[in-house]
Chains A and B, each alone.
Chain A
Amino acid sequence: MSRFIARRVVAMIGVLFAVSVIVFVVFMVLPKQNPAQTLAGKNATPVLVKSIEEEWGFDDSLVVQYGTMMKKVFTGELTSYKPRIPVDDQIREGIPATFSLTIGAAIIWLFFGLLLGYFSALRAGGWLDRILTGLSIAGISIPVFLLAPVLLYFLTYKFEIFPNAQYVPFGEDPYEWLRHLILPWFTLAVLSIGFYSRVLRSNMLDVMNEDYVRTARAKGLSERQVMTRHVLRNSLIPVITLFGLDFGTTIAGTAIITEVLYSINGVGFYAADAVKKFELPPIMGVALYGAFFVVLVNALVDIAYAYLDPRVRLGEAGSE
Chain B
Amino acid sequence: MSTAPLLSVDGLRVGFATEDGVVQAVDEVSFDLRPGEVLAIVGESGSGKSVTAQTIIGLTRANNARIEGSVKLDGKELTSASDAEMRRLRGERVAMIFQDPMTSFNPVYRIGAQIVEAIRAHRPDTSKAQGKERVVELFDAVGIPNAEQRVDDYPHEFSGGMRQRAMIAMALALEPEVLIADEPTTALDVTIQAQILDLLEQLNRERNLATILITHDLGVVAEVANRVLVMYAGKVVEQGTLDEIFYDPQHPYTWGLLGSLTRIDRPRPHRLPQIAGSPPSLLDLPEGCPFRPRCPHEFSKCPQYPPLEARLPESPGHCDRCWLSPEQKRDKRVVEGQIGLEAPQAGQGA
Residues in B neighbouring A222, C-beta threshold 8 A = 87, 121
Beta-carbon contact of B88 and A220 below 8 Å? yes
Are A234 and B121 CB-contacts (below 8 A) given A217-B90, A219-B170, A220-B89? no
Cross-chain pairs A/B with CB under 8 angstroms, 12 sampled: A211-B103, A212-B103, A214-B98, A214-B104, A218-B57, A218-B95, A219-B118, A220-B121, A229-B117, A310-B107, A310-B108, A311-B156
A138 at the interface (CB under 8 A from B): no
From A210, A211, A217, A220, name the one whose CB has the most chain B CB atoms within 10 angstroms: A220
Chain A residue with Cβ nearest B105: A212
The smallest C-beta distance from B51 to any residue of chain A, in angstroms, reads: 13
B330 at the interface (CB under 8 A from A): no
Beta-carbon contact of A220 and B156 below 8 Å? no
B122 at the interface (CB under 8 A from A): yes
Beta-carbon contact of B95 and A233 below 8 Å? no
Please measure, in the bound complex, the distance between the C-alpha atom of A203 and the C-alpha atom of B57, giving whole angstroms. 27
Which A residues, 174 to 227, have Cβ-Cβ distances below 8 Å to chain B?
210-212, 214-223, 225
Please measure, in the bound complex, the distance between the C-alpha atom of A310 and the C-alpha atom of B107, giving whole angstroms. 8
Please measure, in the bound complex, the distance between the C-alpha atom of A280 and the C-alpha atom of B90, giving whole angstroms. 68
B130 at the interface (CB under 8 A from A): no
The smallest C-beta distance from A13 to any residue of chain B, in angstroms, reads: 30
Residue of B59, B87, B154 touching A310 (CB-CB under 8 A): B154
Residues in B neighbouring A275, C-beta threshold 8 A = none
Please measure, in the bound complex, the distance between the C-alpha atom of A220 and the C-alpha atom of B106, giving whole angstroms. 15
Residue of A219, A223, A311 touching B91 (CB-CB under 8 A): A219
B100 at the interface (CB under 8 A from A): yes
Residues in A neighbouring B27, C-beta threshold 8 A = none
Are A212 and B118 CB-contacts (below 8 A) given A218-B95, A219-B91, A311-B154? no
Tally B residues with Cβ within 8 Å of A.
27
Residues in A neighbouring B108, C-beta threshold 8 A = 233-234, 237, 308-310
Chain A residue with Cβ nearest B153: A310
Which B residues, 36 to 66, have Cβ-Cβ distances below 8 Å to chain A?
57, 59
Please measure, in the bound complex, the distance between the C-alpha atom of A223 and the C-alpha atom of B108, giving whole angstroms. 19
Are A211 and B98 CB-contacts (below 8 A) given A220-B118, A233-B108, A311-B156? yes
Residues in B neighbouring A215, C-beta threshold 8 A = 98, 104-106, 167, 170
Beta-carbon contact of B105 and A218 below 8 Å? no
Which B residues, 131 to 176, have Cβ-Cβ distances below 8 Å to chain A?
154, 156, 167, 170
B92 at the interface (CB under 8 A from A): yes
Residues in A neighbouring B96, C-beta threshold 8 A = 218
Are A234 and B154 CB-contacts (below 8 A) given A220-B89, A221-B117? no
Beyond A211-B104, A215-B170, A233-B106, 6 additional pairs, beta carbon < 8 A: A212-B105, A215-B167, A223-B87, A230-B106, A309-B107, A311-B156
Beta-carbon contact of A219 and B107 below 8 Å? no
Residues in A neighbouring B154, C-beta threshold 8 A = 310-311
Please measure, in the bound complex, the distance between the C-alpha atom of A313 and the C-alpha atom of B88, giving whole angstroms. 36
Per-residue CB proximity of A236-271 to B under 8 Å, as 1/0?
A: 010000000000000000000000000000000000
